Structure 1
Amino acid sequence: MSDSQPLVSAIIPVYNCDRYLKETILSVLQQTHPPFEILVIDDGSTDNSAAVAQEFSDSIQYYSQPNQGAGTARNYGTQLAKGNYFAFLDADDLWEKDKLTRQLQIFANRPEVDMVFGQMKNFHSPELPESVKQQFYCPPELIPGYHPGTLLIKREAFERVGSFDTQWKLGEFIDWYLKAMEAGLNSAMLPELVLRRRIHQTNTGSRDRDFRKDYVRIVKASLDRRRGKKQL
Structure 2
Amino acid sequence: MFFTHYYNSFIEFNLKVSIIIPVFNGAVLIKRCLEAVFSQKLPKGTALDVIVIDDGSTDETVSLLHNFRHQIKILTQTRKGPAAARNLGIHHASGDFLAFLDADDYWYPDFILETTDFLIKHPTAIAVSVGQLHKFASNEGTILPAFLRSKEAFNTDGWMLNDFFPFWANHNHICTGSALIRMEVIHKAGGQLEDMRISEDLEYWAYLSTFGTWGFLPKVLFVSDGDKVTRKIGWWKKKQERWHKAPDLDTWEKRLLTRLKKPLSENYLLCRARVGKSLGYAALLSGRLETGRSIILSCKNHLPNDKLSILLKYGSNNKLQWWILSKVLIYREKNRKI
Contact 2:203/2:256, CA 8 A, preserved across alignment: no
Q: How many residues end up aligned between the 2 structures?
A: 215
Q: % of aligned pairs identical?
A: 24
Q: Which of 161, 166, 175 does residue 194 from structure 2 map onto?
A: 166
CA displacement, residues 168-211 of structure 1 (integer Å, 9 cap, x when unaligned): 1101111112211233x211111001210122324976751223
Check if 1:102 corresponds to 2:114. Answer: yes
What does 1:30-179 correspond to in 2, within 5 Å?
Answer: 30-33=39-42, 35-124=47-136, 133-134=137-138, 139-143=141-145, 145-179=173-207
Query: Which position in structure 2 is the counterpart of 1:129?
Result: none
CA distance in 2 between counterparts of 1:145 and 1:56 reads 32
Letter in 1 for 2:205: Y
Would you say the 8 A contact 1:31–1:100 is kept in 2?
A: yes
Write the deviation string for residues 71-125 of structure 1: whole angstroms up to 9, x where unpaired. 000000010011111111100001111101000111121111110111111113x
Larger Rg: 2
Alignment match of 1:22 (pick from 17, 26, 31): 31
For 1:208, the aligned partner's letter is R
RMSD of aligned C-alpha atoms? 2.4
C-alpha distance in 1 between matches for 2:53 and 2:66: 12
Mapped to 1, the partners of 2:18 and 2:57 lie a distance apart of 22
Aligned partners of 1:56 and 1:72: how far apart in 2? 23
- Give the equivalent residue in structure 1 for 2:216: 189
2:194 is paired with a residue whose SS is coil
Distance 1:153 1:75 in 2: 14
TM-score normalised per structure 2: 0.59
Note if 1:216 corresponds to 2:241.
no
SS at 1:192's partner residue? strand
More strand by share: 1
Gaps of 5+ in 1: 125-132
C-alpha deviation, 1:220, in angstroms: 4.3
Q: CA deviation digits over 1:22-73, x for unaligned, max 9?
A: 0000010000016521111101111111011111112111111111000000
Higher relative contact order (CA 8 A, sep 6+): 1
Output the TM-score relative to the length of structure 1: 0.83
Moved more, 20-29 or 166-175: 166-175
Q: Which has the higher helix share?
A: 2
Distance of 2:199 and 2:135 partners within structure 1: 21
